[in-house]
Chain A
């Protein structure tokens, strides 16, 4: 049972480039989430999904897109990277009102 896995671990982007952060969970959880963590701050919710084919915006969705074609995968897309998107990105999964399980994070720098 790998839990929640994220790739890549680190990435440096130039302004205007695009990329996809991958997230996969093997716990058959319906709910999945993307958060960003800025230095010295708590995590803020970007997007979430309550099941395959269903996604919704969180607190800070601008500049990001998501899709959920399967229960296992919840990729996060950055279309036009900006310095303000430099952050650590965490994916999480959970079931209903239960605990959320977090991946190890992706550290993204936009220069």
Chain B
């Protein structure tokens, strides 16, 4: 079956620190992989995605590379800002139903302090 295992938080970093949030997955076939971000009081927004092995998704300074050999999609950012404080969810798409159903990790709360 499909599952996503995500690094547990919370994570607290100082501004300009390097960020890594680990994500590994189990899936049938080769699903698309996503990182969604949830700011306080809001719904989820797509941060980046990758649709095939070795693809790198990037947005707003965040990056993640689809690694088939390690079944991983770790999120990285070189220098975090206070405005990056949010909950980050790793997700994969279910290819079997054809409806792009998403399976989510438990989320990692990031707090960036000035």
Q: Which residues of A contact B (CB under 8 A)?
A: 4, 31, 33, 40-45, 48, 50, 56, 58, 90, 92, 94, 96-105
Provide the residues of chain B in CB contact with A105, threshold 8 Å: 42-43
Q: Which residues of B contact A (CB under 8 A)?
A: 4, 6, 32, 34, 36, 41-46, 49, 51, 89, 91, 93, 97-107
Judging by beta carbons under 8 Å apart, are B106 and A96 in contact?
no
Judging by beta carbons under 8 Å apart, are B45 and A102 in contact?
yes
Provide the residues of chain A in CB contact with B42, threshold 8 Å: 104-105
Judging by beta carbons under 8 Å apart, are A99 and B43 in contact?
no
Contact of A56 among B46, B49, B97, B104 (CB under 8 A): B97
Provide the residues of chain B in CB contact with A58, threshold 8 Å: 101
A-B pairs with lowest CB-CB distance, top 4: A42-B104, A102-B43, A102-B44, A43-B104
Chain B residue at minimal CB-CB distance from A96? B100
If over half of A's interface residues share one DSSP class (helix, strand or loop), that class is named, otherwise mixed; here it is strand
Judging by beta carbons under 8 Å apart, are A103 and B101 in contact?
no
Judging by beta carbons under 8 Å apart, are A50 and B43 in contact?
no
Identify 8 residue pairs between A and B in the complex whose beta-carbon atoms are under 8 Å apart, listed by A's number. Answer: A40-B106, A40-B107, A42-B6, A43-B44, A44-B104, A48-B101, A100-B46, A102-B43
Judging by beta carbons under 8 Å apart, are B89 and A43 in contact?
yes
Q: Tell me the bound Cα distance from A90 to B36 in angstroms.
A: 14
Provide the residues of chain B in CB contact with A94, threshold 8 Å: 100
Contact of B44 among A31, A45, A56, A90 (CB under 8 A): A90
Contact of B101 among A33, A40, A41, A104 (CB under 8 A): A33
B24 → chain A, closest Cβ, in Å? 14
Provide the residues of chain A in CB contact with B49, threshold 8 Å: 99
Judging by beta carbons under 8 Å apart, are A97 and B93 in contact?
yes
